[in-house]
Amino acid sequence: MALLSKSCLYGLRTAIYCAHQSGNGYIPISEIAKELEIPADFLTKILQKLTRKKIMSSLRGVKGGIKLGKSSEKISLYDIVQAIDGETIFRKCFLDLEGCGEETPCPFHESWKSYRTDLGNMLKNTSLSYLIENRKYARLK
């Protein structure tokens, strides 16, 4: 098990890659797929989820491809995770016991809740531009 699905990882890495490209033009998905070693057809499908949510924008045809749908400061990792994997990981209890929740919390409830909230905030507070500006610390691929 992993926290994020493979689709989600692919989406994140693509978004980071696009944010990393200086120009404002469309980049063919095939090019990104090759660069990041992601199956191209699969990536196409994943990116559709992001374009539908305006996180990215796409264009068909000769000069077409994909690019960020807004400026990289305005896209957080949370946005991308939510668009692809949904909000489950930020909401669901990991024990998922019968009769659980706020009314009858198990002893684990509070620490788990804050942990989950932390994860959400951490991702909300990390924008693509932040990652790029500090990119000297790692190869962001």
Interacting residues with ligand SF4 (CB under 6 A) = 93, 95, 97, 100-101, 105-106, 108-109, 112, 138
Percent helix, strand, coil in the chain, to 5, is 55, 10, 40
Q: How far is the CB of 114 from ligand SF4 (least distance, A)?
A: 11
User: Judged by CB under 8 A, does residue 27 bind a copy of itself?
Assistant: no
Question: Measured from the CB atom, is 28 or 93 closer to ligand SF4?
Answer: 93
Among 9, 53, 67, 124, binds a copy of itself (CB under 8 A): 9
Q: Is 34 in the site for a copy of itself (CB under 8 A)?
A: no
Q: What is the CA radius of gyration of the chain?
A: 17
Burial class (CB in 10 A: 0-12, 13-18, 19+), 27: middle
Going by C-beta distance under 8 Å and a sequence separation of 6 or more, which residues neighbour residue 138? none
Report the nearest approach of DNA to the CB of residue 61 (Å): 3
